Structure 1
Amino acid sequence: MFIRIACASALALASATSAFAATTPFTDEAAFLAAIGEPVDNFIDFETGFTDGQNLNGTTLAGGATVNATVGSTSIEAGAGSIGGSNPIGAFALEASDASGESFTLTFGSAITYFSAFYIDAGSPSINGVSFSSTGASGDTATFAGLTFDLADNVTEISFTSIDGDGRWGIDDISFGTASAVPLPAGLPLLLSGGLALGLMRRRKRG
């Protein structure tokens, strides 16, 4: 009995240390936010502090996300149709452009457990190795993609690769952070302590 209770205590405490299990993709923003269960730590919509045509390669954004172009270039583009014929969500968006297959990364100073973005004018995008569907070719094509991770996976980089299209695509309205550990039910610590005490008393009586 005592061993069973001790094992139950260990399992309950272990379950409280990680908010998510394996990498999980989301294509619905509401479902992604529900899975996080709290306001996002960092949100960047590129509307403030950026200028049209600004080169972002090597730039560290709010929240400690650093943009690194691995193929092609990354810059801020503004206005209707400015992202390969597609529109930013607001006035500005981050655009990657190169004729030979653009890719870039966002690196973080510490591990994150979730990331999301709207990708624009992108064909067959892959985000951290997870494939998402292509967008439309023009107009309002922004499409949601989200990922959650186990903290133990130590995810400190988000990569955007294998983008097929017209050589110009972008992302907008990105969010990232570390979700809180799943909380224990309020009465569980008291229940566990009572169970442990009961187990000890039974062992003493048998002795």
Structure 2
Amino acid sequence: MDHAGTTPPAVPTYDSASATPAGWYADPVGQAGLLRYWDGSSWTAHTHASVAPPAAAPKRRLSAGAIIAIVVGAVLAGIVLIGILAAIAIPLYLQQQQIDSEAAAQADLVTIAVAVSDQWADRPWGGPAAVREEGDVYVIRQDGANTTIGPRTGGTHLGGYESYGDGVWCVWVESADGNAWSWAPGDAAPVAGWCPPAETTTAEEFSAGANTAA
């Protein structure tokens, strides 16, 4: 049993020997910091230096400058990360916006083209007199009556309607990004470009391939 630091009787006696258990004690006659073994009845010749428990390492405290540097570094890292994410996300967002804009314009164009085709089927000698945009709808004018088509997709606008005679016609719209899409009889899908004016284009020229203008 280690009793280091306990001071036994300076002059061991029979009574003190029976009362003090064997162990290492501060040497009563030696130098400070020296331990001597007490065998329960007398001091022995065995000694060793007293070992003090290691002192606790002082806690390191960051200086104000170090704390500021860490905070500034974290803020700058956050700014850089936000910049990287923005550089990736913004172009993707704009690209998706453009895709949606073009898809909306083409969907409106198909709706108008189907309605115009139906009007031509009902009146093959002349077809619709006009197609125009009114608020959030499109309107087909024929024989003094209006046929409403819609609703119009926000950002999409009617570009125009051209009739070249002999059942040949063309209608076109503009997307929110300003791109033109046209449709004419025989087209399987919207065609990029606008319709050439009927004043300068005949039905034969149109059918021969001048059906759109860039």
TM-score normalised per structure 1:
0.31
Kindly indicate which of the two structures has a greater share of residues assigned to helix. Answer: 2
Q: Which has the higher strand share?
A: 1
Rg comparison, structure with higher value: 2
